[in-house]
Structure 1
Amino acid sequence: MSARIDAHQHFWRYTAADYPWMEAGMDALRRDRLPDEALPLLDSAGIDACIAVQARASEAENTFLLGLARQYPRIAAVVGWVDLFAADAGGRLAYWRDQPRFAGVRHLLQDDADVAATLADARFARGMRAVQAQSLVYDILVRGPAQLAPVAAFCARHDRHWLVLDHLGKPAIDGGDEHQWRRCLRELAALPHVLCKVSGLVTEVRAARLDASAIQRHLDAVLDAFGPDRLLFGSDWPVCLLRADYAVVAALVRDWAASLSGDEQARLWGGNAARCYGVHPRGEE
């Protein structure tokens, strides 16, 4: 049986200066969140390993996460950060690529004033070419269909290695224009080198109550677009705690995926992540 992998977790030692995006009202996040707290949650959900994803736009984040990965072998891979606009991005990427378990990078597109301008920037394109030349995965983080709209053309230009859409592109679940989001999703899914993380769902629900049927409707849409070979489970812990605990997040996906075949479920719960990020979980500490 293949390992079950949570493809999207965060870890941090909290300081306000390092995490300005943790706004007032995010008290559940504004404290240390480390593997000793997370690993029992993975155990309860039957998850063998996880991929740690950057939460700071700093190479210090790479050092921090890789240090945790050395200490906790169940952190099977790290998606870090490098300034892709920098003239020396290729050299910096090569340095990190040589570090065990460094598997990808992410730029926080959702925070850019003009996502389309970033994606069309010649400096960013040069950085992306270096990412793919190093066989590193690039995680795409955008918020909603307006930011998602230019992503398909960008991904078509960068097709030498895997690209992964985080959090379904952050649609406004139960409160947004699903038609536009579905159209953008289908355009992106037409590109065979693009995968999608089934993650970050609960925090995108606009209604006061989590409606499982609304979440499942969006999961049905990504399954129809990407198919079971290009979907990856991710909890987005601890950010998910703004709306639900780990067990609830895992159960929402588990219940939805119950109609998939055994092989399809195995790919969703780890096989696709292992193939994309090139990870081989080493088991318990």
Structure 2
Amino acid sequence: MTGVALSVHPATTFAQPKRVIVDSQVHLWPASTPERPWLPGAKPQLPEPFTIERVIPLMDEAGVDRVVIVPPASLEGERVDYAQEAVKRYPNRFAIMARVTLNKPEGAARLATWRDQPGVLGVRLNFGPDEAAWLTNGTADWFWPAAQKARLPVMFLTSGQTSLFARIAERHPGLTLILDHMGVGAGLRPRADSSQSGKNNQVAEAIAEAAELAKYPNVSVKLSSVPLISTESYPFRDTIPHIQRLFDAYGPERCYWGTDITNSFARATYRQRVTQFTEELPFLTESDKDWVMGRAILARLRWA
């Protein structure tokens, strides 16, 4: 019987695809000049401008591939031209969530072509003290059906009003709602130099309200601005239960890593903000990290 030689090939190895890391919120702004002034009384989050030239090296050093720019409305109003400059110069690295003034319902007509603006993917709303009543007095009512019809993702931030979005999410199931900063608005955050048990209780209550919205499939959450709810130094271990609670509620495809880095610039490096999620959260699998660190926000915003 003639023997048959068997050809043995070495095992083929395949390189794992690189994880795409997307920061779901960064503010960029240039200096105020006579030709391009800030709004009257504007106070930036940092003493110096946070420019395109400044953020690109930070992104490269931290391994961040893309950034969602949220133009700082307190400085620039509804302007998006500087953010669009970033998109033009780095078209594969930046996109924009632009601002709508909700007390101008004539803006509804603009929403149909909102994403035709270069780099713009959706809307960002901030219900601060001056806008809080708009959620209950009818001022904002025109916006939700108009945004749903236009298929516009909407990022939103409140301070203690998160529960009001249950009704909005239920009435407009086709509206993509993205809760900013784990639902913890500026007025609820503790100071890093104090235990402030009262503020910490408010944070826990805000996280609980944010988790309640997970029952609505059209709501998702940005796990962003983490250093601002911590009274500890990096890796901010006191925030891990909050992050895990929201992750357990929403799952990997509805949670998005983000920094809001200019709002807590001195609290951690950009790289540390990445490694907190990739190295310090043991409940996340590698697949979970792929979603949370970038894949999920790209899908939700339809950012190709």
TM range (shorter): 0.7 to 0.9
Q: What is the percent sequence identity of the aligned residues?
A: 23
Partner Cα separation in structure 1 for residue 204 and residue 225 of structure 2: 20
| Larger Rg computed on CA atoms | 2
**Secondary structure of 1:124's aligned partner:** coil
Give the letter aligned to residue 134 of structure 1. A
Q: 1:88 to 1:273 in 2, by over 3 A?
A: same
Deviation at 1:141, TM superposition (A): 0.8
Per-residue Cα deviation, 1:34-57 (whole angstroms, up to 9, x for no partner)? 122112222222221111112116
Partner Cα separation in structure 2 for residue 106 and residue 53 of structure 1: 7
Partner Cα separation in structure 2 for residue 18 and residue 243 of structure 1: 27
2:144–2:175 contact (8 Å) kept in structure 1: no
Deviation at 1:95, TM superposition (A): 4.0
Report the count of equivalent residues: 271
Partner Cα separation in structure 1 for residue 101 and residue 152 of structure 2: 14
Deviation at 1:200, TM superposition (A): 0.7
Query: Which of 171, 183, 187 is equivalent to 1:157?
Result: 171
Deviation at 1:65, TM superposition (A): 1.4
**2:286 is the alignment partner of 1:272:** no
**2:147 is the alignment partner of 1:122:** no
> Structure 2 length as normaliser, TM-score?
0.80
Deviation at 1:250, TM superposition (A): 1.8
Deviation at 1:268, TM superposition (A): 0.6
**Secondary structure of 1:64's aligned partner:** helix
**Secondary structure of 2:143's aligned partner:** helix
Which structure 2 segments of 5+ residues have no match?
A: 1-16
Q: 1:38 to 1:242 in 2, by over 3 A?
A: same
Give the letter aligned to residue 268 of structure 1. V
Query: Which of 174, 182, 185 is equivalent to 1:168?
Result: 182
1:197–1:234 contact (8 Å) kept in structure 2: yes
Instruction: Spell out the pairing of 1:248-267 with structure 2 (5 A cutoff).
Output: 248-267=272-291
> Structure 1 length as normaliser, TM-score?
0.84
**2:70 is the alignment partner of 1:53:** yes
**2:11 matched to which residue of 1?**
none
* CA RMSD of superposed structures (Å): 2.5
Deviation at 1:94, TM superposition (A): 3.0
1:59–1:82 contact (8 Å) kept in structure 2: no
Q: 1:245 to 1:193 in 2, by over 3 A?
A: same
**2:223 is the alignment partner of 1:216:** no
Partner Cα separation in structure 2 for residue 60 and residue 179 of structure 1: 32
Deviation at 1:211, TM superposition (A): 6.5
Q: 1:216 to 1:208 in 2, by over 3 A?
A: closer
Partner Cα separation in structure 2 for residue 71 and residue 11 of structure 1: 14
2:125–2:155 contact (8 Å) kept in structure 1: yes
Partner Cα separation in structure 1 for residue 40 and residue 183 of structure 2: 22
Which structure 1 segments of 5+ residues have no match?
A: 281-285
Partner Cα separation in structure 2 for residue 256 and residue 89 of structure 1: 43
**2:150 matched to which residue of 1?**
134
1:85–1:127 contact (8 Å) kept in structure 2: no
Instruction: Spell out the pairing of 1:14-163 with structure 2 (5 A cutoff).
Output: 14-15=31-32, 17-18=38-39, 20=41, 22=43, 29-56=46-73, 60-112=78-130, 115=132, 117-143=133-159, 146-163=160-177
Deviation at 1:157, TM superposition (A): 2.6
Deviation at 1:21, TM superposition (A): 5.8
**2:251 matched to which residue of 1?**
227
